[in-house]
Structure 1
């Protein structure tokens, strides 16, 4: 693993450097390059509320982390390892936030925070000035792995809850479909029984009406009637035109 040498660090608001520290004696050269990098971040649309980026110059590699408009920057040798520099920037941001200086950022001018934060920045920079494979890097990697595993576990749990919810919904729909099927079959049977019941009743009524009509017709025609109708006049007895012959004496 290549050795990481952090030679410069600063905290800026936009393109204004509020506090900086450099281990090498060429302060003006490195800070001038840092100012150029900050100026390049704005037109390049890299100065966002959250994000990180890397810039390469002939002498150094600049690493930047942006949080809520604040830029946390460091410069190290070109062959340095990226994760080591970002580990330093994470410590730098955390220390600056814990120092309670965020309320002074909006009104701060160039290097106005050197008096209150440069010593802490120097301690961090010297701590990471020459760092190779260390326990902190391994712990940082382990912490990232733990966070990733936790996020994946939460996603799996959320998916499991969604699957349980969908399974319960599917069972409810299946039960509702089965109940609907039973109800529809019962209604179908009841409808068929009612249909045939009404047909039988209609047939019986039609038979009764037909029987009454036939009997009435037979009664009117005298087939099943003895005597005239009540409204017909009674006919006189029929007198024969030729009286019957008297019986002979011989008989």
Structure 2
């Protein structure tokens, strides 16, 4: 798990010889020498005057420590980390360490308990690195800050909306005018297209009629010529010769005779 930088370093030291017997680094600042700094604190002449204390360091953050008769427990946190949460962590660290490894303190040397204490130290560091997971008050504060941020954002949005009401009204009116113009233009285009389609159909109908007439004439003229050439004219000549003896036959009688011949 990647550290957020709230918990940076945890260490356990012996009070009698001022040595660090176990430590764990969860977040390393550039140039920070946590072990040397903690050893300076535990070896200070006035260290035993206070059983628990918070020390602010501009180089590494904030140092909190708590003690028992034989050990001192240290944690280096971010400057903004709550003091009450840091000491809750130290209390849990003291209980876990005493229950599991407390009997080995007397014979421990510098960093000799690192491997045995690593699971405990890394677990506590991960747990307390996210403040909201272990500090209800801090979680409520975070939640309140989030709600405040949302409220401020909503208020800003409402203010901006209020400032833009006139602009939105103008846009709405403009859209209404555009809609009416679009509707009018659509109707005009529909009428124009209908007239064009009507003209096209009329032209197509005239072309079709002309084509039918041309085909009719093209095929009827030769048939009519053949009819006259090979049927009507021979019959007419025959009737005319047959009726030459009767000079009094008129045009009407000749026509009737021709029709009779065609029907016969």
TM normalised by structure 2 equals: 0.45
Give the helix-richer structure, 1 or 2: 2
With CA pairs under 8 Å and 6+ residues apart, which has the higher RCO, 1 or 2?
1
TM normalised by structure 1 equals: 0.47
